[in-house]
Chains A and B, each alone.
Chain A
Amino acid sequence: MYDDTRLTEGDVASMNTKISAKGVDVFYGDNHAIKDVNVEIKDKTVTAFIGPSGCGKSTFLRCINRMNDTIDVCRVTGDIRLDGEDINDKRVDPVQLRARVGMVFQKPNPFPKSIYDNIAYGPRIHGLARNKAELDEIVEKSLRRGAIWDEVKDRLNAPGTGLSGGQQQRLCIARAVATQPEVLLMDEPCSALDPIATGQVEELIDELRQSYSVVIVTHSMQQAARVSQKTAFFHLGNLVEYGDTGDIFTKPEDPRTEAYITGRIG
């Protein structure tokens, strides 16, 4: 599977740009957390954000679906476009934006509801199903996409919190998929999981690439190398280097990137 990743890297260049960010700055109160970041994220591609802790990669990820709006002291400037439309435009409703740019979090956070209701929650609030049968279909399709259908199909009414950590995280991915987003943002989705569960989630991410543009923040360079086609390296709020994953890991241009991937900083 990892070989597959390498092979398809060449195709990525031909993909359309899904998200383009220009001159993005983020401030937490007085703290300048993101400094003038410019990046173009391709459709149907896994893009990895790597860098030491506190480098701003998660903060930048949260700008893409405006989750930073929920933090009072956070201020975002600059231009982020989804399919050419400015997401920070006054006319854009963040609710609609987030339906198209789904998010998966560091810690699995299933709702204290049944597995079925966890998945059906998004489609229900966005009104994606006209009747129960359609909703059932969406739930099944999402759980299949989340690669967890076989494990839970007999207990859809069991609480989602009763699943194991890895299952919970795949449930959360399925939940994000259920709203039929175009982009999936994943904030260190495997950091709370054991190696086996991590492997399952990584496998899933690679499959998701065929339908979505996936952006993943990760601590682990190995993970970035395994799942992504494009990699962006953040350091102290700056986007230091952005390019094909193979290039970043084999011939980094910036000395800071090299220092990080060889383990001298971070």
Chain B
Amino acid sequence: MTDATTPTPKRASLLAVDERTRKRNAAEARFKIYGIVAICVGVLSLVVLLAAILSNGIPAFQRTVVQVPVTVTQEQYDAAESTLFKTKEYEGLFVAALSAELTSAGIEADISSGALERLVGKVGNNLRQFYTANEVQLGQEVLFEVPAASRIDRYFKGTLAVENITADNRFIQPQDLDVAEAMKDAGLMATVFDWNFITGVDTGVDNPGGAGIGASVLGSLLMMFVVLFLALPIGVAASIYLEEFAPKNRLTDFIEVNISNLAAVPSIVFGILGLAVFIQYMHLPQSAPLVGGFVLTLMTLPTIIISTRASLKSVPPSIRDAALGVGASKMQAVFHHVLPLAAPGILTGTIIGLAQALGETAPLLLIGMVGFVARYPETFLGGLEGPNSALPAQIYNWVSRSDAVFTEKAWGGIIILLIFLLTMNIIAILLRRRFERRW
């Protein structure tokens, strides 16, 4: 050691921070800021996304209605029923009632049938249906609540481009807006919660305001039913085999590699599988929640298997040893002791898998679940086999139509979808909190 005696260089005082350290500390601060910025970008994206959903979607839950008290006498009813164009007669009755209300409210307005259609659409049939079903109400005053025309609705929601409206527009004219404002002030128009959006079914382009999401929610629920009853037992069975019984050999390895790869296969490929195998080859019905359920089951299985295996693995071997030690068979040890202890974890994983399946759209497009579904199924089995849509597919369907009302409905549909997902995830989190066990 030749340099052993070289004195170490005497350095400056510790108390003074030298130039280089200052620079390094500045770099340190910058680096930290990058991280904070990155997190802010992520969180900001989330905030913007949620804000966009809420601001665009909440109007879908409201609709503007025209509330008019109408009295139809027995004679008027008989007269209307005996004519050829019955709904036209009822429309006349409605116009008369509305005009009377307008006059008493002091609103100057011409409610010819053109203007009426621009304000509330065709109402004759609503009246006729009501009175044919409730003849006892004849002669009494009934408060009719009919949906306002979609453009009036959009006007009150602030999404109508008012400056582009011309006097010869077939759908809306500038004076209609004044009438609508006056009616609102007089209490003849009101904005109410739109239950029809939640319970109703899809409608054609002629009545975008009446479209509801109910039928497709039912379609999604039917699919979730299929997924739950197939994916949970199959997934748990496969996990039990792989985790507890499978010998360590090439076949087991092969199955495991298969599962981890399936977990990463793009969802659209499962759609191709469903189309080719279930529909082309097996001739199962197209657009049916049953087939959708099959496809989503195959897609969800890897998720459920992976989380089930993790919760089986977290049960300590001492439990198995204890059961085997009192003479239980391997199968009894697993089913009596390990499985109940792993159950909360399995359920959590299943719920998360279901949530994934609920939001999945692409494979459903390929097996035709984007059709126009204007009816609720009559029976449970009919619902499984018959054509139906699904919540996300219905949203996609609405977006691809050009009418702005449908776009609003699509955003509203997203709120419902997210409420479902949020509920499922909260249940999963609560389950985990409630039953989490540290060994």
Chain A residues proximal to chain B, CB less than 8 Å: 82-83, 85, 87, 89, 91-93, 95-97, 100, 125-127, 141, 144-145, 180-182, 207, 210-212
Tell me whether A210 and B5 are in contact in the complex, defined as CB-CB below 8 angstroms, given that A95-B21, A96-B21, A125-B24 are known contacts.
yes
Task: Tell me whether A145 and B15 are in contact (CB under 8 A).
Answer: no
Whether a CB of chain A sits under 8 angstroms from the CB of B378 is no
Tell me whether A85 and B14 are in contact in the complex, defined as CB-CB below 8 angstroms, given that A93-B25, A207-B1 are known contacts.
yes
Task: Tell me whether B18 and A211 are in contact (CB under 8 A).
Answer: no
Whether a CB of chain A sits under 8 angstroms from the CB of B158 is no
Task: Tell me whether A207 and B14 are in contact (CB under 8 A).
Answer: no
Task: Tell me whether A96 and B14 are in contact (CB under 8 A).
Answer: yes
Q: Which residues of B contact A180 (CB under 8 A)?
A: 8-9
Listed from nearest, the 8 A-B pairs whose CB atoms lie closest are: A85-B14, A210-B4, A91-B15, A127-B20, A92-B14, A93-B17, A96-B21, A93-B21
Whether a CB of chain A sits under 8 angstroms from the CB of B6 is yes
Given contacts A83-B14, A211-B4, A211-B6, 18 further A-B contacts (CB under 8 A): A82-B14, A85-B13, A85-B14, A85-B15, A87-B14, A91-B15, A91-B16, A91-B17, A92-B14, A97-B14, A100-B14, A125-B24, A145-B1, A182-B8, A207-B1, A210-B1, A211-B5, A211-B8
Question: Shortest distance in angstroms between A82's beta carbon and chain B's nearest beta carbon?
Answer: 6
Q: Which residues of A contact B14 (CB under 8 A)?
A: 82-83, 85, 87, 89, 92, 96-97, 100
Whether a CB of chain A sits under 8 angstroms from the CB of B3 is yes
In the complex, A210 Cα to B6 Cα: how many Å?
Answer: 9
In the complex, A181 Cα to B6 Cα: how many Å?
Answer: 13
Chain B residues proximal to chain A, CB less than 8 Å: 1, 3-6, 8-9, 11, 13-18, 20-21, 24-25
List 12 contacting pairs A-B, 8 Å CB cutoff, sorted by A: A85-B14, A89-B14, A89-B15, A91-B16, A92-B15, A93-B17, A93-B21, A96-B17, A100-B14, A126-B20, A180-B8, A181-B8
Task: Tell me whether A100 and B11 are in contact (CB under 8 A).
Answer: yes
In the complex, A23 Cα to B17 Cα: how many Å?
Answer: 26
Q: Which residues of B contact A210 (CB under 8 A)?
A: 1, 4-5
In the complex, A82 Cα to B9 Cα: how many Å?
Answer: 15
Contacts between chains A and B (CB distance < 8 A), count:
46
In the complex, A100 Cα to B10 Cα: how many Å?
Answer: 10
Quick one: which of A92, A125, A207 contacts B4, CB cutoff 8 A?
A207
Q: Which residues of A contact B21 (CB under 8 A)?
A: 93, 95-96
Question: Shortest distance in angstroms between A177's beta carbon and chain B's nearest beta carbon?
Answer: 10
Q: Which residues of A contact B17 (CB under 8 A)?
A: 91, 93, 96
Q: Which residues of A contact B20 (CB under 8 A)?
A: 126-127
Q: Which residues of A contact B18 (CB under 8 A)?
A: 96
Question: Shortest distance in angstroms between B389's beta carbon and chain A's nearest beta carbon?
Answer: 52
In the complex, A126 Cα to B23 Cα: how many Å?
Answer: 11
Q: Which residues of B contact A97 (CB under 8 A)?
A: 14
Q: Closest B-chain residue to A181, C-beta based?
A: B8
Quick one: which of A82, A144, A212 contacts B8, CB cutoff 8 A?
A212
Question: Shortest distance in angstroms between B19's beta carbon and chain A's nearest beta carbon?
Answer: 10
Q: Which residues of A contact B9 (CB under 8 A)?
A: 180
Q: Which of the listed residues A87, A91, A93, A210 has the most CB atoms from chain B within 10 Å of its own CB?
A: A93
Q: Closest B-chain residue to A208, C-beta based?
A: B4
Q: Closest B-chain residue to A180, C-beta based?
A: B8
Question: Shortest distance in angstroms between B10's beta carbon and chain A's nearest beta carbon?
Answer: 9
In the complex, A89 Cα to B17 Cα: how many Å?
Answer: 12
Q: Which residues of B contact A144 (CB under 8 A)?
A: 1
Q: Which residues of A contact B3 (CB under 8 A)?
A: 141
Q: Which residues of A contact B6 (CB under 8 A)?
A: 211
Q: Which residues of B contact A127 (CB under 8 A)?
A: 20
Q: Closest A-chain residue to B6, C-beta based?
A: A211
Q: Which residues of B contact A96 (CB under 8 A)?
A: 14, 17-18, 21
Question: Shortest distance in angstroms between B73's beta carbon and chain A's nearest beta carbon?
Answer: 82
Q: Closest A-chain residue to B23, C-beta based?
A: A127
